[in-house]
Structure 1
């Protein structure tokens, strides 16, 4: 998976590419005023999909960190042990690339939420999120009725395993708040 090089807070373009099985092209974000918020997605009662993927990309400051994040995200997605007859991940990621909505935060500079929900897979990608946004989205993931769920956390981390976000450090204690 490749994410186009450039500052993580650059507005307008995030590119992801997954080589081999399904070649995926670059993603260009379009702001969609009709998109749903985290709370609206939580309250949705008409769930059809059986798969839910949340990818969280923390603050990335160097090219080396960007390269490492790319590897972690690809490895995380490719490690998801799901039946291709139930969810063709390459096809679903292609749908995400061509049809996702993008929301830009007014409160947290550089924070973006990319979202797409098909009849099979709901995909949420958080880029440079605040701690509160991550907690809220983890809660959505955990409370969603989907049977198959994937959480990929990527970005800078401390020696203790805490992730660095725009608004602070995300620890295992913070993670447990999102799960409970």
Structure 2
């Protein structure tokens, strides 16, 4: 009888843990944009709608990744919308639903983008390392950051590109 109760408790604990993991997997990415900016930097450096293009690759034997899109930054550290159009095997249109960004005093920073659908049909959201390359925030260069620096998105294709504000 004791072994039976121990087995029931173990099964119940396994069910609770499994349910919790499913809940975590479906949760929105956790954003950490406060770790990227220093006190002298300002998110106001970037504000408005930027159009962008990018190119990269995941691994040998997989078609390259390429795309275009737009992203809107509010000048106060928030990503407020946009779209990512990605080509890898086929074209995917992924709405940008939010995110955050930081700018350091040297013009570098990070952007964490959350999306309504998986980017290129792979993972939700994108983390980017950025460098403001034109005065007044007219242009910035970006690349995938290769890890979970800004958010828990898990997207890891290697790509880089340029964003311009008209």
Q: TM-score range by the shorter chain?
A: under 0.3
TM-score (norm 2): 0.27
Flag the structure with more relative contact order, 1 or 2, with Cα contacts below 8 A and sequence separation at least 6: 1
Pick the structure with more helix per residue. Answer: 1
Pick the structure with more strand per residue. Answer: 2
TM-score (norm 1): 0.25
